[in-house]
Amino acid sequence: MTAPQTPHENQPPDEPHGAGADPGDGPELARELREGALIALVVAVSGVLLGLLWAWLAPRVPLIADTHNVYLKNTEGEEAIGADGTFFLLGLGFGLVSAAAVFLFRRRGGVPLVVALAVGGLLGAVLAWLTGMWLGPTPDVVAHARQVGPGVVFDGPLRLQAKGALLVWPAAAMATLIALTGLFGPRDPELDGPVVPDWSGHHHEPPAAR
């Protein structure tokens, strides 16, 4: 017979497989993904409101036609640039508001929330662009000119010349959420003092009670 073997000195017993995993990680991640999908959907749908505001606030491009061609009434007008600028400012405002609303709802950041804001903001910007063009004057300039007649000023279609303005909403939302999380988000608990590792390899037993 052989003597029973004892575990090596200072070697902890083997832990069962998966003992260190947090059982709450799975449900927590699933909940964050569901919340992220809901946030992305709500933010994207709010793009309809941005489109309504854009169609209402953007300056119109006056056109005039003769019997053959259609011309700009003001050849040096800045109405087209004004439409892009209006969309830019509205996208910036919607990005700030949507990020602030998400932070107040969750009180923290996180990758799922940032991704949700980015995706929702981009979809909302595209939806706002399409909504604004649909609510604006007809894009069929020739038919509109024939309808009003020669020499009559009419509004040109609402267009977004600078497509980069579509990225203003998601970029502003992500930057705002990250900034709010860094300034007002929960802090990690601080340790009482510096942790000094023990490189001696000796196991220190607690003193016995007297």
Q: Would you give per-residue pLDDT tens digits along the chain (210 residues)?
A: 555 555 455 555 554 444 444 545 677 778 878 888 999 999 999 999 999 999 999 888 777 776 666 656 565 556 678 889 999 999 999 999 999 999 988 776 678 888 999 999 999 999 999 999 999 887 666 666 666 666 667 667 888 989 999 999 999 999 999 999 888 876 655 544 455 555 555 555 555 555
pLDDT value of residue 92: 97
SS3 annotation, the chain: CCCCCCCCCCCCCCCCCCCCCCCCHHHHHHHHHHHHHHHHHHHHHCHHHHHHHHHHHCCCCEEEECCCCEEECCCCCCHHHHHHHHHHHHHHHHHHHHHHHHHHHHCCCCHHHHHHHHHHHHHHHHHHHHHHHHHCCCCCHHHHHHHHCCCCCEECCCCCCCHHHHHHHHHHHHHHHHHHHHHHCCCCCCCCCCCCCCCCCCCCCCCCCC
pLDDT value of residue 176: 93
